[in-house]
Amino acid sequence: MKLIKKYNKKDGSTAYLFKTYLGIDPYTGKKKYTTKRGFKTKKEAKLAMGRLQFQYKTNEAVIDSKITFEQLAEMWLEQYQNTVKESTFVVQKLALTKHVLPLFGKIKVSKITIPYCQTQVNHWFSYYKKYSNLIGLTSSIFQFGISLRIIQTNPMDGIVRPKRRKKIDEEEISTPHYTKNELNAFLNIVSSKYSLQLYAMFRILAFTGLRKGELLALRWKDINFSAKTLSVKQTLTTVKDWKLDFQTPKTAKSSRTISIDDETIHTIKKWKNEQRKILFKMGINSLDINQLLFTQLDSNRPIYLDFLNHNLKQIINENKLNYITVHGFRHTHCSLLFESGATIKEVQERLGHTDIKTTMNIYAHVTEQQKEKTANNFAAFMSN
């Protein structure tokens, strides 16, 4: 269908419009018509119509679709889940559902402006620490819309990213970690008052710097007692419907083999003997090649990631210890490695940091004891 006709404008002047058929909208399945008006001459309207039809035939024209942001997000998610680990997909989908869709979901993509995006970015900034991730998610969905010829530009490209200003005398907040004395006191308490399994878990975390998921995914075949090493080859994570799943480590650098000290080796051996007795009573072969170091004691199933969080909180409260998170033991190990004289490269490889900046950021938060040593060493140097 092609139609060009003359019409009267409200001011009494005349102009031309055209109406033309552009095929089937792939997103609605309906026939697609468009009307454009405001042309001074019939020839001008005819040229514009021909140009538009050519653009559609060559896939260069943007479809004037009524698709909403939520509909576009659903299409984007179908593609996105094939590009990342399932655990990452679950986390990002949750962030999208909780923080982005309530603000953008019902609006037509073509109607979302840069000022509207800026308002929502400012809103995220006001309450959400990882607001940059929400910007990235939203921008990726708009970019997907561009590739589908639904919109021409990405409104997120025009926003100004807010930055947090540091106030005078404001202390920079770092992940809580223990000093050497605090760590030894913690491990002594766990060793004397709690289960061997818990002690072995926290001992390994503190003396290897493993991530929580890496610890809970360890199998006995990952421990080389003769070489005194531990190999990180997989990680335990939460996926769809809060199920547990074993995946490859966080990054390529996260797959690593690290040395273990004699006392930690002794603790692991001691736990292996106790676990063997527990599994024997349950009729389970502890020599299975894929047997995990740490499992639920009543079922031999993998331990949920919150298990360590819950027990750590209990230990701290019952013994009035300084606050620390499970991830804080990784920072503790890193900090004490530097204090013991390890190089930045050695620490980076031991902890499996892909970006050396991550190692450097922790290095910047060395213990107060180390800072005091620096000052005292300088004073001693100057007095000689």
Q: Are 177 and 331 in contact (CB under 8 A)?
A: yes
CA-based nearest residue to 233, from 179, 293, 192, 288 = 293
The pTM is what?
0.67
pLDDT tens digits, 130-151: 999 999 999 999 999 988 888 8
A 10 A CB-CB count for 85 gives 16
Q: Return d(Cα 222, Cα 214) in angstroms, integer.
A: 11
- What dihedral do alpha carbons 149, 150, 154, 155 form, nearest 10°? 160
pLDDT of amino acid 27 = 57
- The pLDDT tens digits along the chain (384 residues) read 678 888 998 888 999 988 887 776 655 667 777 888 889 898 898 888 888 777 666 555 455 568 999 999 999 999 999 998 888 899 999 999 999 999 999 999 989 999 999 999 999 999 998 999 999 999 999 999 988 888 888 999 999 999 877 655 444 546 788 989 999 999 999 999 999 999 999 999 999 999 999 999 999 999 999 999 999 999 999 887 778 889 988 788 889 999 999 999 999 999 999 999 999 999 998 888 899 999 999 999 999 999 999 999 999 999 999 999 999 999 899 888 888 888 888 888 888 887 777 677 666 655 455 555 666 666 676 566
Q: What is the pLDDT of residue 28?
A: 63
- The set of residues, in sequence order, having a beta carbon less than 8 Å from that of 359 and lying 6+ positions away, is 334, 344, 347, 348, 351, 353
pLDDT value of residue 310: 96
Torsion angle of the four alpha carbons 262, 264, 266, 271, in this order, in degrees rounded to the nearest 10:
-170
DSSP-based three-state secondary structure for 64? coil
Chain position carrying tokens 């299409």: 75
Q: What is the pLDDT of residue 366?
A: 56
What angle, 0 to 180 degrees and rounded to 10, lies between the N-to-C axes of helices 131-147 and 69-80?
Answer: 90
Tell me, what's the pLDDT at 170?
44
